[in-house]
Amino acid sequence: MKPSGHKTGIAFTTALLVLIGFAVEGDTGADFTLTMLAATVGSFAFFALLFPGSLFFSLALANSLAIYVSIFVFFSEANFPGVSDFAQDSGFALPLAGFLAGAYLRRDTIRSVVLAAHVTSRAEFKRVTRWLIPVALVGGLTFFQSELGLAHLPGDAVFLAAMALIAMIVLAASRDVAVFLIDAGLLLEEFFERMGKLVLPVYAFLTFYSLIVVGFAAIYKLIDVYLTGPHFRILNDDRAIGYSEALYFSIVTLSTVGYGDVAPVSNAVRVVASIQVVFGITLLLIGLSEIMTYNRDLQARRNGRREGEDV
């Protein structure tokens, strides 16, 4: 990973984790947020020291932890809503501690994989993701606590037992988990590099997209001002539309989302909205085609330069 890639990766990871931390704080409490952030920083530092020169591996781990936090919060809220703060924090840390311990015990093997820094073959990738099956099985079984006769047991005990079992699975498969993270880090790095090369066509697409949004928003507002209404129903109230609401309605219409909180009630607005939907679909098809063409031309020019250098 290049130095600029380091900075981008760190900034992206930090922003993502802080965002998730604030988002889950209302449901899990400040203690869990602090535990999550401390575990992430500690894991990042642990792998940066254990495997120096492999920052992308540490970043892949941190980004995977962001996904783990989301799954963990859903898992605990759905199946263990009454679990104590101590059990919740401890349960979150158990699988992570299992992986860190396994990574340390297998550090020589994992170091060789980290230094190789290449994406595994498809067959190897299937093998190193097998640990996800028993982990998913343990998590899935907790949805059937009553059927398994576990409903009478203390919630903290069942929760910690499930997380301890997951921790043992991760400990046993720590080498495969590490390879999985390496692949994820390399693929993420490649994705950001490719996205960087598509800045110009994406910028052009978004610029034209924005012009359509603004232009149609102005039309909606002008219709509401100069034609006899009502033209819009906003939160079940037939009234004049503000320009910010017109912008919102224009974006929703162009993306064909249709939340229904702002709806057209006059034929004039319905006709204009229909035209905008056609514009949006056409723009999407043309925009994607142009981005793909730009990418192919860029790749062809790069291959041509390589052939010239080999001659």
208-232 confidence digits (pLDDT tens): 888 899 999 999 999 999 998 799 9
Per-residue model confidence (pLDDT) at position 267: 94
| 259-304 pLDDT tens trace | 889 999 999 999 999 999 998 888 888 877 777 777 677 667 666 6
32: nearest Cα among 94, 86, 102 = 86
Copy the structure tokens of residue 165: 């079992």
Per-residue model confidence (pLDDT) at position 301: 67
Q: In the block, which residue shows the tokens 């998590």?
A: 139
The segments of the chain whose pLDDT lies below 50 read 1-5
CA distance 70 to 276: 36
CA distance 170 to 131: 7
Q: In the block, which residue shows the tokens 């906003």?
A: 234
Per-residue model confidence (pLDDT) at position 231: 94
Q: What residue spans define the domains of the chain?
A: 3-197, 199-310
Put residue 165 in one of left, alpha, beta given phi > 0 → left and psi -120 to 50 → alpha.
alpha
Instruction: Give the total residue count for the chain.
Output: 311
Per-residue model confidence (pLDDT) at position 118: 62
| 57-67 pLDDT tens trace | 666 777 777 78
Topology of the domain covering 199-310: Helix Hairpins (1.10.287)
Per-residue model confidence (pLDDT) at position 288: 76
Per-residue model confidence (pLDDT) at position 275: 94
